[in-house]
Amino acid sequence: MDASASEERQALRPGRNQQLVYDAMLKSGRPMRAYELLKLLHADGIRSPLQVYRVLDKLVREGKARKIETLHAFAICGKPSNGGGQVAVTICTQCGQTDAIEDAELKRQLAKLSRGSGFLAETATVELAGLCLGCQEVEA
Ligand SMILES: [Zn+2]
């Protein structure tokens, strides 16, 4: 076993990849698509879409990131998710900032709506696109 082989293993450690992806997303401050991350982190040793998706999945499971379905992108969560409590995500079309809105009443309504049509929903997320407070001030 030589030093370069152990360096190689070090570079493939999932914890390191997770940190790289998380830092890149945090730095960008907007939702990012998997291929963007792949392109950005290629030089750091992230070479396959699978590596990126694996890390993104983990970040979502741990409540550190969320998937923005309508953008096919992922964003860092500003505050730790309490595990499925989030029902609406706001997406600023100007600066790309995303935020989560938790509302028990909306959650109940969505559940009622799907039950009423005989559908068993596993997840329910409403995505609202528009302008964040900061961008509204700039527009005004
Ligand atoms: Zn904005």
pTM: 0.70
* Fold topology of 88-139: Dna Ligase; domain 1 (3.30.1490)
Question: Percent of the chain having pLDDT more than 70?
Answer: 84
* Domains of the chain, residue spans: 3-76, 88-139
Give mean pLDDT, residues 66-85: 74
Structure tokens given for 13:
């450690």
Identify how many contiguous H helices and E strands the chain contains and give both numbers.
6, 5
The backbone region for 118, taken as left when phi is positive above 0, alpha when psi lies in -120 to 50, beta otherwise, is left
Q: 95: CA distance to ligand 1 center in Å?
A: 4
Ligand 1 centroid, distance to 91 Cα (angstroms): 8
CATH number for 3-76 (one of 3.40.50.720, 3.30.2130.10, 1.10.10.10, 3.30.360.10): it is: 1.10.10.10
**Per-residue pLDDT, 36:** 95
What is the average pLDDT score of the chain? 83
CB under 5 Å of ion ligand 1: residues? 92, 94-95, 97, 132, 135
pLDDT tens digit sequence for 14-41: 689 999 999 999 999 889 999 999 999 9
Nearest by Cα to 77 from 97, 50, 94, 106: 97
Strands ordered across the beta sheet of 88-92: 98-101, 88-92, 126-130
Distance from the CA of 104 to the center of ligand 1, in angstroms? 26
